Every structure is written in structure tokens, then in C-alpha cells.
Structure 1
Amino acid sequence: MTRPPAIILAGGRATRMGGGDKCLLDLDGCPMLARIVERLVPQCGSLALNANGDPARFADFGLPVLPDSLPDQPGPLAGILAGMDWAASLGASAVVSVAGDTPFFPENLVSRLRGGKGIVLAASRNPGGEVTDHPTFGLWSVALRDDLRAFLAGGQRRVRGFATAHGATTVVWDAGAIDPFFNINTPEDLERARGLAR
């Protein structure tokens, strides 16, 4: 079975980190994006990056850089839409989305997401049994891209809202001491991630 293409969502403003590209922050000697690409390449087919602004800052990675097709950076759904449109141009039926600030996501992410149809989202279960959704990690049918375009044009922004409206299913990973979907939002998170990367 052909592996689906994947889009790394790096279009956010990173306000809690003081702005800039979180995915380019150093994570124990290399940019976080390099670790994400390294983890994702064995799992997917083609790979692209969703980011706005000058794409030249990502030139070292050799990836297509897809900006949002909508103005004012409306959030990760716009990046998912860019990924859907790109995947459709490749003739793919679905695209996987991955957050650009979450470098330790599972090495079996794509294979497990592919077990479902339509929209399949990731979640993690902590040792206490509490489940947390991670909707920027998902498998998205490109057949839904016109619905998503209309959803965004109507001012809607919530990833979970669109997914729920289209019957999304969820795949749950058990989290041990570290949640594999731990994401970096603050300088403190970055220091913790650097320790984990070592």
C-alpha cells in the first residue's frame, strides 16, 4: 500500500515563545524541524511544510513550503487545507498532518492512523486513564477539502469542530512518563525537550 504524503504544520505565530519559527529552534544541536523530518520520512510518502512568509528560511530542508491559501493566518486548519490541496495535486486520497512543535510523536503514527477512513485523529492516554486529543495529528481525506474551504470561509477555526462534523475517529496511544505528543509552547517546554532529546 502506498504511503500517504504528510504536511508539517509550522504556520503559527509562536507568541508564547516570543515569535518566530518554533520548528527552527535548536533541540540539542539541530533544529527541531530536522528531528521531525527524520521521524516522519520513514512513515510517509512525499513531505511538505506549511509555513507563511519567506520560504527561503527553510531552504536547507529541501521541502516544498506551502503557505496558507487564506489571509490572516487562521490557524492549523488552513495548513491542513494547504496539505489537502497539495496531496490532491499528487493524486493522493489522504494526507497526514503533524505539528511542527512536537518532535517526539510516535514512530508508528502513520501506520496506526491509516487503520481508519475519512478523518482519523490522534490522542494519548496518561497512566491515570485520562485521554487528551491531539487534533493537529491526523489523517485527512482530500475529498473533504472543499468542505474545509467552506468551513474556514464561514469563519470557523476549530480543528476538532470540523473533524467532529465529519465523523472523525480517534486512535489512542498510551503515554508513559512522557506523552509522545508533548509539544513545545514555552521556553520551559523547550528546555524540557532538550533534556529529552539528549
Structure 2
Amino acid sequence: MSSQKITGLILAGGRAQRMGGIDKGLIPFRGKPLIESAIERLKPQVDTILINANRNITKYAHYGYPVIMDETPDFSGPLAGFSIGLKHCATPYLLTSPCDSPLLPLDLAERMLTKLEAENLDLVYASSEEVNGKVWAQPVFCLMRNTLEHLLNDFLSKGDLKIDHWFKEVFSGTVVFNAPHAFANVNTPQELDALEKISS
């Protein structure tokens, strides 16, 4: 099974400044913490799960998966999570997803792995197509080879934390999903309310 090749990494290490600094993975969504929805949808698609968090470690460890902290200081963003995830990844591929997108596609891993292997890419990220045809990159939903660890660390050592700049350093491609709500995430209380209405 292709899922046996993949480690899932849930990114829960951000500051969540637009949510008032609340740890987003623990915010209630339809009666349970957001991260539980992410785990439920990611678990069937991967061999094992890692959680990248920089606070509330004990609460995240309650879910039974290894909790790994950034090795870079000051909440350095998703690339710091990618880096520590690659360091702990024991499978050929690492699939990343944020903790605050509870409707992530159930075929995310399958479609991204198919493209990566067919085109011999290093990394594949998701994109979403809106009803009006507009396509948006969803770069924190990403499948990468575990061999990218040293390349990523070299990139980070230069002080660049921008995810789109990193994608240009490797052989990357994207898979377009015609499901914009699948990548909806929570950055404000208003977005949380809207997302609960969409999924009800």
C-alpha cells in the first residue's frame, strides 16, 4: 500500500497571532479540538503521524503520536516544521498538513504521490481551484522525499523562511484539487464560524 511509504506531519507549531495567540490545534471545532479532525482525515492516508508543536506538548502527546519541536527559535514558520519532520521521517516520503484545516482531502496522499512518482519530482504541493476557475497554491499541504533534509537545512541556514522560495530550489510540481473548502483553514474567529457552517 502506498500509505506505508508516507509519514504524516501535522503542523501545529505556529503563533496564531490572528487568533489572539491561542494554540489553533486545540481550538474547538464541532465539539472537538481542530487537530483531532486533521488526525482523523490524515491517519488512513499515511503509515504513521508526527505532530510538530512548540507549546502544549503534553496535550498534543495525549493523542499517542510523537510530538517534535522546531530546532530553530521564535516560531520560524512551516519550513522549520518541514525540517524537523524530515529529521524524524523513517519512510521514503513526508506528507505535511496544517492543524487548522479539518476538511483536508481524503485522497491528498494518493494524488500527490502519483504525481511525484510519475514525474520523478522531489516535492509536490497542493493547489485548489475556486468555482470561478482561479487556482490558489496551498503550499503547507506538501509531499516530499525524505532525502531533502540537508537541502532544506542549507536553505534555512541562509535565513530565508519563505516556502515558495524553497520550492524553487527543488524539482517541484503541484496537484490541483477542485475542492476549495477542503483547504479552508482557521486564522480568525470569523473563519472558524464560517468553516463550521460549511461542514455542518
Q: Deviations over 1:51-76 (max 9, x none)?
A: 11341121321111010011222110
Establish whether residue 101 from structure 1 lines up as the match of residue 100 from structure 2. yes
Amino acid at match of 1:97: T
Amino acid at match of 2:163: V
2:111 corresponds to which residue?
112
Distance 1:138 1:19 in 2: 25
Distance 1:195 1:62 in 2: 30
Q: Deviations over 1:74-105 (max 9, x none)?
A: 11000011111110xx2x22100001111111
Q: Secondary structure at the match of 2:88?
A: helix
Tell me, yes or no, if the aligned pair for 2:14 and 2:77 is still in contact at 8 Å. Answer: yes
Distance 2:8 2:81 in 1: 11
Percentage identity across aligned positions? 34
Q: Secondary structure at the match of 2:44?
A: helix
Amino acid at match of 1:58: Y
Tell me, yes or no, if the aligned pair for 2:10 and 2:97 is still in contact at 8 Å. Answer: yes
Tell me, yes or no, if the aligned pair for 1:94 and 1:141 is still in contact at 8 Å. Answer: yes
Tell me, yes or no, if the aligned pair for 1:27 and 1:197 is still in contact at 8 Å. Answer: no
Residue segments in structure 1 that go unaligned for 5+ positions in a row: none
Distance 1:134 1:162 in 2: 14
Distance 2:194 2:56 in 1: 29
1:168 corresponds to which residue?
172
Establish whether residue 196 from structure 1 lines up as the match of residue 191 from structure 2. no
Query: When the two structures are superposed, what TM-score results if normalisation uses the length of structure 2?
Result: 0.92
Q: Secondary structure at the match of 1:180?
A: helix
1:59 corresponds to which residue?
61
Tell me, yes or no, if the aligned pair for 2:94 and 2:146 is still in contact at 8 Å. Answer: yes
Question: Which has the larger share of strand?
Answer: 2
RMSD: 1.2
Establish whether residue 146 from structure 1 lines up as the match of residue 145 from structure 2. no
Runs of 4+ in 1 over 4 A off after TM superposition: none
Instruction: Map 1:1-198; keep pairs closer than 5 Å.
Output: 1=1, 2-87=4-89, 90=90, 92-115=91-114, 116=116, 117-175=121-179, 178-198=180-200
Tell me, yes or no, if the aligned pair for 2:95 and 2:144 is still in contact at 8 Å. Answer: yes
Tell me, yes or no, if the aligned pair for 1:11 and 1:51 is still in contact at 8 Å. Answer: yes
